[in-house]
Structures are given as structure tokens and as C-alpha cells.
Amino acid sequence: MKFRFHPLCKSMKLSSLMFVDDVLLFSKGDVESIMILLRTFSTFSQASGLQMSKGKSNVYFNGVTSEIRREIVQVSGCIEGQLPFKYLGVPIKPSKLSVKDCQPLIDKVLERIRQLGTKKLSKFLWHGGTEYARTPTVAWSKICTDQKKGGLGLRDEYTWNKAAVGKLVWWVQAHPSKLWVQWVHSVYLKGQGWEEYNPPQDASWIWKKVCKLKREFQPTYNQNEWTTVPGKEYNIKKGYLWLRQDRQDVSWRFTRMKNGILNSILNATMYYIWKQRNESKHEGVIINPGRCVVMIQGDIRSRIQQQLQGTMTRKDRHWTEKLM
């Protein structure tokens, strides 16, 4: 009997991958190769005491006749699975994932978003749904900008995902000893330089995405050095910050005095809006919006004048006087 490797694993003689307590086994889709895999696994079980749970194990085929499939299922005792299958919540299949394939994952994410919209985000930023009925009040790109740059500091998941894929780009550039990088060199690069490499038309869609992002990240590294932080390794956060380097820092450092004035402004505004609402509802008195604004401004100026009579730093006094 002769073991035959999976076509994309043959050059590296790769037959298995392990993650925590999961084992993925690969081979050519023939009975002899499967028998050798099972025999090797049986030897491992006898030595370690660990047994395969056949009721929870699946065998997946691609390009194998129905007759051979039935025979392999019979000798292995495993259940025949269907592609795509899920691993760690992500659909796995040999071709490009469709919207239908990803829909269960999308639904889970949308449900988390709905919960977040209800509990965490103010209605003036987001109404809590996943579809827009009108133009948002504040651009999402602005909200996701760092607080020091004038935003709220929420994470831009699209850019974060690009930064995560950027780590794969960096691995190919700087870590040739990693198993995945060795596989990439064996199947795709085949001796070509990473910086000059372009994927073939028949490459997987995931690999094409990695190569496309490579061009965007190329200015950030020189040989094996991440140039934005010399001498340091790439990480996802660094890549994310580099991708979003598009705004100047702004000052958000408020002293206690400044916070007091801003609270006074907010309190005055809320009070007069509440007062106008009650007078309109219970007394039928309608105040012109412009008049309401003037009243709010007058109240705020009075509150600021009281603050100016107290003790404050020269910088705070200058900031306060500019409000007048």
C-alpha cells in the first residue's frame, strides 16, 4: 500500500494540522491512503490512550466518485460531511464563499450590533437597526476616528480586518519558517520574490485578497523591518493605526473648570428645551425657536460670568473668555 498526499500538500509532505483538540487529516481521495491514515491514527491511539470520536468526526470529499466515497465512509466509520463546513464558526469550502455561505455568521454579527445599538450607542449616532432609513447624523468614519483626532474612538472593523490580513502579508515577508508561509512558497510563490509576485488567475480568492493588500502595505516595510516602528515586529494594532493615519490630533484635555462650564452649557440648553416643551403642551404658549436660542445664550453667558469671578489658570481664563 502506498500513501498519496493531497495534491496541494504533496510537495511539503503535509498530512495533518492540529489546533487545540482538533485534528485535520489530508490525503489523496483513495481508499489505500485513507487506510494508511487510519492505521497511523490507531497506532497513535494505542500509544497515547486518546481515541477518535467517530460520531463527531467527518470526512469531506472533492472530486471523488460516489463509489469511492461510500467505500471510504464504510472503512473509516466517519460521517460524510458536506461543503462548506464550519470550523471555529467560519465556513470552509474550496471555492469563493457566497453571501449565503456567510449568512449565519452575518446574522450573528447583526444581532450583536442590534444589542450594541440598544445598550451602548446614543440614538443621535445610530437608531439601533442594521439598515438605514435616512442619512446618518454623523459619518461612521468620523465616529471611528481616535478621540485625539476628533472622533469617538470606536473601532473601524473594515480597516481592522485589513490590518489583520496585513499580518499574513508580513509573515510572508519576514517569517519564512512558519508552516503556512512554507506552504505558500510551495504552492504559489515557487521561488519568486514576494514584492514582485502577482497571483495567477486560478489562485484562490483568499490568496488574491492577500496579494492585493500586499501592494497597499509595501511602503511600510523594508526587507524584514516594519518601518513605521523601526526594529519592531508588525502587529494588527500597528497596521490599523497606519491605515487610519489621516487626521491631525486635536486637544480633548479638559480641566475640571472646563468640564464645569460645558456641563453648565448642557444643563442650560436642556432646561430651556424642557421648559418650552412644557409651556407648549400645558399652556399653549409657543416660543419662537430663535427667541429660545437667545434665552439659552443669555443664561450661558451668566453662568460663564460667574465662573470668571473665581480662580482659574491663565490658559483656562483665555479659553473661557473666547466663549463670550
* Distance linking the first and last C-alpha atoms of the chain: 91
pTM assigned to the model? 0.61
Residue 164: pLDDT over 90: yes
- List b or e across 195-207, with b for residues whose CB sees 16 or more CB atoms inside 10 angstroms: eeeebeeeeeeee
- Residues 6+ away with beta carbon under 8 Å from 191: 185
Mean confidence (pLDDT) of the chain: 80
Q: What is the pLDDT of residue 144?
A: 82
The residue with greater pLDDT, 295 or 246, is 295
The residue with greater pLDDT, 205 or 123, is 205
Q: What is the pLDDT of residue 21?
A: 77
Q: What is the pLDDT of residue 149?
A: 73
CB count within 10 Å of CB 164 equals: 12
Span 136-153, pLDDT tens digits:
667 777 778 877 777 777
Span 71-118, pLDDT tens digits:
999 988 888 988 778 877 777 877 777 888 888 888 888 887 777 655
What are the cell numbers at 151? 472622533
